Structure 1
Amino acid sequence: MIEIVQTGPLNTVQDLGRPGYRAIGVSASGAMDPLAVRTGNVLLGNEQGAAAIEVQTFPFKIRFSAITDFAVTGADGALLLNERDVMAWSIHRAAAGDVLEIRQPRRLGRVYITFSGGVDVPVVMGSRSTTLRGGFGGYDGRPLAAGDALATIPVDGNLPQRAIAVVEPAVALRDFFPAATDDVLPIRAIPAGEHVLFVSDADRFWSQLWRISSQSDRTGYRLSGEPIKPEAPVEMRSHGVVPGVVQVPPGGEPIIQMSDANTAGGYPKIAGVIESDLWRLGQARIGTKIRFVRSTHAEARATEQAVDRYVEDVCRTATMVKRALGIIA
């Protein structure tokens, strides 16, 4: 068991989400940084979608009640096991009574703790993810609180008692992701259905700097900047919405739909963030400056393939180390 010793608001259990239920009004939810979850799970030998703890408010502290292998991925916060620094993006072994503390990250927004076997909470509609607005999934459909106890799924065999570490995606994949310049995060997107309705304002959507406002959460990021509006008022029927869609409400400040995205909406869609850039948005804090970069379907596909190769490389590396240590044949 894992006891939650200290936590802040909105820290939850998440996996890679529950696709397939949007038609009945159920959002997919899932980790805001799915690449961090996939990487941590692969390091530990789990299925890529095993449930993890998503931490977005700090400090966060847990106590282990039994020997447990774990990995911490995502943001660049200080990690301490029994008050001693430990590495992120690496496997560690905790003994019964050990305490893991995660302090405020330096730059990024979310930390993920994966455990050997994954967090064992009920599967609801094919997923263990918490859906806060619906009040289901995860740990009783709510954020984690001090005193909560989480079980992990039992696994056969042992991991090496020494660390296996990998290069984090931001470094390993830097040739495929445009670098931030002057603290501005470039986010690639493709023009969406109503892009043409914005006429000259469409150019300003791509050229100006936007800032993630305080009116942002797992459902969506509202952007602050000079408003953009269609050339003429437009009335639209509600239509399906997915993470990455950029809608523009009447006030003119865009909203990027995120992991808990609404399932339908009637605001005009000016763009769609490519799926492979959503994990970088998931790590962006309130106040982060972003600039949209016009992309193509071909670039989006090439980046997605690069991310998949990275995860496969992590899997191969972990397997090779375990084989060299005689843990597997």
Structure 2
Amino acid sequence: MIEILTTGAANCVQDLGRFGYLDAGVSRSGAMDAPALELANRLVGNDPNAAAIEVAIFPFRMRFDRAALVAVTGADLPVTLGGTRYPSWWALPVSAGDVLELGLPRRGARAYLAIAGGLIVPAVLGSASTDLKSRWGGLEGRGLRRGDRLETGFAPAALGGLPAGFGLDPETIGRGAADTGAEVPIRVLPGAEYDVFDQAAVDALEAAAWQVTEDANRQGYRLSGPELTLRQKLELHSHGIMPGTVQVPPSGQPIIQLAEANTCGGYPKIAHVIEADLWRLGQAPVGSRLRFVRVDRRQAVAALRAQRVLIDRAAAFAALARKDTARPELLTALSRRDTNS
């Protein structure tokens, strides 16, 4: 059992999402940074889809009623346990009564906290993910509150020869500092109505630095930049859309649909963010700037395959560390960072 001590309404229980119900108007939900949630689970030996906590409001504090193995991934932020500072992308053992705190991110926007054994919450349509828009899933369909208590599954917490835990170097899993710099590169494919936009709009899509406005949440981000205009007036019936769809309403300012995306809409679609880059949007805070980069389908598929290879490689290292923590070379290979950083 864990108890929430400090939190915000946007912090919630998530897994990898709710699939197969778009035709019924049910959005995917799930983690805004799915690879980070999966790797948090893989670090502690969970199923990749186990329920974990997505943290978007900081500081976040929680207390453990029993010993456990936990992992924090996602944003680059300070992790504090019993007065000791750890980096993110780290798995560490906790004892009964320990308080874990996640501080303000230095880079990124969301952290993921997985506990060995996973969180025990009722599944809704096959998923534990919270849909804040529809108010179902997770813990009563809402964000976490102070005093909430969540049941966890049982799993051994011992780490033997690595009492300080072990972690991953973000550089080795495609999470370098360049990905969270002044302009976040976002690869896109042309949308269904791409050719209906005038040449100035097509040029501006890639040339401009698009700012994430304050109108940003799990449903989508409204961007600010040059006005994107059509060659001619266009009327569309509502049709299916997905996370990553870049729509352009009459204002000419794009909207990117995200984890809790509407399942249908009638605005023209100028682009689609490739699946391998959706996590970058999840880690782009309000005020950050996005730079769209057009790619083709072959490049989009290759990027997704490369991401999968990095995730599986990191998961294999984590499994090795949990099974043979007496080997000191593992700490060098896996962490490559000082736990006091």
- Secondary structure of the structure 2 residue equivalent to 1:13: strand
Which one of 167, 176, 188 corresponds to residue 165 of structure 1? Answer: 167
Alignment check: 8 A CA contact 2:77 2:87 kept: no
Q: How many residues align?
A: 322
Q: Distance in 1 between matches of 2:92 and 2:324?
A: 18
Are 1:39 and 2:4 an aligned pair?
no
CA contact (8 A) 1:51 1:129 kept: yes
Alignment correspondent of 1:297: 297
Deviation at 1:297, TM superposition (A): 1.1
Unmatched 5+ stretches in structure 2: 327-341
1:193 aligns with 2:192: yes
| Corresponding position of 2:152 | 152
How far apart, CA to CA, are the structure 2 residues paired with 1:256 and 1:89?
A: 27
Q: What is the identity percentage for the equivalent residue pairs of Structure 1 and Structure 2?
A: 43
Change (3 A) 1:77 1:324: closer
Any idea what the Cα deviations from partners look like across 1:56-103, whole Å, max 9, x if unmatched?
011110000000110000011111112221232121111111000111
- What is aligned with 2:78? 78
**Which is further off, 16-25 or 181-190?**
181-190
For the residue of structure 1 that corresponds to 2:62, the secondary structure is strand
Secondary structure of the 1:280 match is: helix
Counterparts in 2 of 1:159 and 1:191: CA distance versus 1, 3 Å: farther
User: Equivalents in 2 of 1:60, 1:239: separation in Å?
Assistant: 39
Shift of 1:240: 0.3
> Structure 1 residues 13 and 182, CA, compared in 2 at 3 Å: closer, same or farther?
closer
- TM-score when normalising by structure 2: 0.91
The answer on 1:229 being equivalent to 2:232 is: no
Counterpart-to-counterpart distance in 2, 1:108 and 1:214 = 16
Paired with 1:241 and 1:2, the residues of 2 have a C-alpha distance of 37
1:316 equivalent in alignment to 2:313 = no
* Cα displacement string for residues 133-175 of structure 1 (whole angstroms, at most 9, x for unaligned residues): 11110000000000000111223x455242121222xx1244x
Q: How does 1:69-108 map to 2 (within 5 A)?
A: 69-108=69-108
Which residue does the alignment assign to 1:285?
285
**Residue 72 of structure 1 aligns to which amino acid in structure 2?**
V
User: For each residue in 1:243-278, what CA deviation from the matched residue of structure 2 results, as whole angstroms up to 9, or x when unmatched?
Assistant: 001000010000011101100000000000000001
C-alpha contact (below 8 Å) 1:2/1:149 kept by paired residues: yes
| TM-score where L is the length of structure 1 | 0.94
